[in-house]
Chain A
Amino acid sequence: MNATSLLVFDGLLLISIVSLAWAALASPDARRSVILFMAFGLVLAVAWGRLLAPNVALAEAAIGAGLSGALLLVAVGEQSKHTPHDGAVPVGKRNALRVRATLQWFITLLCAALAATLAWALLHALDSATNERLAQAVSENLAASGVSNPVTAILLNFRAHDTLLELAVLLTAALGILAIGTARPDYQRAGPVFDGLARWLVPVLILTAGYLLWVGAHAPGGAFQAGATLAAAAVVLRLAGKRIIGLPQAGTLRVILAAGAGMFLVVGLTLLLLGRPFLGYPPAWAGSLILLIESAAMLAIAATLVVAFLGGRSPAAASNDENNRC
C-alpha cells in the first residue's frame, strides 16, 4: 500500500473512532450507547493493529469490546427492568448527579484545556528520542527472558512485579463484586439454534484460549487474551441457559480467583528461598515458570470476568456459607 492510500485509511479510521466515541457518549438511550461503545472498541482494535500492536489489538477485541460490552449490556437490561421509563438512573439519583449549567461550561473548558495540554506534551515527547533506551534494553535481554514475544517478556519477566500487582487488583475487584452482589437469575433455556451454536462455539473458544496461552511465548497472545476468551466461553454457556457454566463450587472458585496472584507469589518466594531475587527466574527455567504463572493467571482472569458477569455469589452458595457459619 502506498503512502497516500494509507493516509486515507488512517483518516477514515480516526474519523470513525472519534464519531463512535461521540455517538456512544451523547446518545441518551443507554442500550444504544453500550452497543456504540462496543463498536468503538472493535474499531480501536483495528487501530492497534494498524499501529503494529497486535498483542493489544487481541486484548482490546476480546476484553475492551467483548466482555466490557457484555457487562454493560447486562447492567442496562437490569436497569431498564427497574426503571421502565427511560432506562437510565432513578429520578432522585438523576437530580443528584445533575450539574449546574455554568459549572458545565467551566468543566467543558477545563477538558478542552486538558486536550490541548496533552497534545502539546505529546508533540514534545514524540520529538525527543529518549524513550529508545528501554526498547533497546528489552531487545538486548530478550534471549534470557525465556520467551521471544517481547510483550510477554516484559509482562511476565522484566516487569513481573507489575503483573503480580495487576492480578492483585483483579482479585480485589472480584472480592468486591462477591461482597456486594448476588448472582443474577439464570437465563431461560435457549432455542435449538443458539443451543447448537453454543455446542460448536464453546469447545472452539476453549481451544482458542489454550492456543493463545501457548502461542503468547513467541507470537501475539498470552494469559490476558486467553483468560478473556475462556470467560467468553462461559458467557456463551450462560446465555444458552446452561446452569453449569464451568464455575466450580464456591470454595474452589475462591482458590481459582486467587490463583493468579497466588502462583506468582509461590514462584517468587520459592526463588527467594533458593537464593535468587524475588521473581528473578533462572534463564534455563524461565520459559516453564512463565507458562506455569500464565496458566494460573488465565484461570484467575477468566474466573474474575465470569464472576463479574454473574454479578456476585450465587444464592445457593451464599446460603451454604450461612449454614456453615451456624
Chain B
Amino acid sequence: MLTTQLLYGLTSCLITALGLRTALLHPSLLHRVIGINVLGAGVFMILITIAYRGPDVPPDPVPHALVLTGIVVAVSATALALALARRLTAEQSND
C-alpha cells in the first residue's frame, strides 16, 4: 500500500461521513442537497484511490469509468432534487 493511497483514502472516509451527517441532520433542504453531493465526492474519492497504483503505473480505468458515470448521475439527481424543492416552496407559499 502506498502512503498516497493511505492519505487520500482516510480523507475520503472523512468527507463521506461529513456529507452524510449534513444530509441527515441539516434543517435546510439546500444544505442537505450539498451534503449528498459531498457524500458522493467522498465515495468517488474512495474509488479513485483504489484505482491509483503509484506514479509510474497506469491506474485501473474501471473505477474511473464508474466515477464518471457517478458524476453525471449525481448532477441529474441534484437537478431533480432542486426542482422538487422549488415546487415544494411554490406550493407552500400558495397556502
Interface residues of A (CB under 8 A from B): 6-7, 10-11, 14, 17-18, 21-22, 24-25, 30, 33-34, 37, 40-41, 44, 47-48, 51-53, 55-56, 59-60, 63-64, 67-68, 71-72, 75-76, 78-79, 82, 88-90, 92-94, 97-99, 104, 107-108, 111-112, 114-116, 118-119, 122-123, 125-127, 131-132, 134-135, 138, 150-151, 153-155, 159, 162-163, 166, 169-170, 173-174, 176-177, 180-181, 222, 224, 301, 304-305, 308, 311-312
Contacts and interface: CB of A to CB of B under 8 A. Distances in A.
6 contacts: A47-B48, A53-B51, A64-B37, A89-B27, A159-B65, A222-B68
A204 B50 CA distance: 36
A79 B85 CA distance: 10
Given A51-B8, A53-B59, A176-B83, 9 more contacts: A22-B18, A25-B34, A37-B37, A51-B52, A64-B75, A93-B29, A122-B13, A154-B62, A169-B76
Contacts of B62: 134-135, 138, 154
Given A118-B13, A173-B77, A24 B71 contact: no
B28 to A, nearest CB: 4
Given A51-B59, A127-B1, A10 B75 contact: no
Contacts of B49: 51, 122, 126
Contacts of A114: 16-17, 20
A166 B34 contact: no
A51 B68 contact: no
Contacts of A154: 61-62, 64-65
Contact of B24 (A34, A53, A107, A305): A107
Contacts of B28: 30, 88-89, 94, 97
Given A51-B51, A55-B64, A88-B28, A63 B83 contact: no
Given A114-B16, A177-B80, A72 B65 contact: no
B7 A11 contact: yes
A222 B71 CA distance: 14
A155 B78 contact: no
B61 A56 contact: no
Nearest to A88: B28
Given A118-B46, A305-B75, A107 B25 contact: yes
Contact of B65 (A44, A75, A97, A151): A151
B34 A37 contact: yes
